[in-house]
Amino acid sequence: MNLIRINQVLQIVGVSRSHWYALIKNGQAPKPVKLSERVAVWVREEVLDWIQSKVAEREQR
């Protein structure tokens, strides 16, 4: 399991920090894993799966 920080997530998904956190708040993106009060990481595979689901949604339209 690979854990990645917010800057890596944003580089992968290509959205702004505020948009990413809005997606999380609305339950539309993977939630972070809190390692401490000030450190959050994401499971890289979950982020990649989320992107793949967006591609699949596009294909179904």
Mapped onto helix, strand or coil, the DSSP state of residue 2 is coil
What is the count of structural domains for the chain? 1
pTM tops 0.85, yes or no: yes
Query: Residue 28: is its pLDDT beyond 90?
Result: yes
Q: For residue range 32-46, list pLDDT tens digits in order.
A: 999 999 999 999 999
pLDDT on residue 3: 98
Mean pLDDT on 7-18: 98
Instruction: Quote the domain boundaries for residue 17.
Output: 3-60
Q: How far apart are CA 20 and CA 53, in angstroms?
A: 16
Which segments of the chain are extended strands (E)?
3-4, 33-34, 40-43
Q: What is the mean pLDDT of the chain?
A: 97
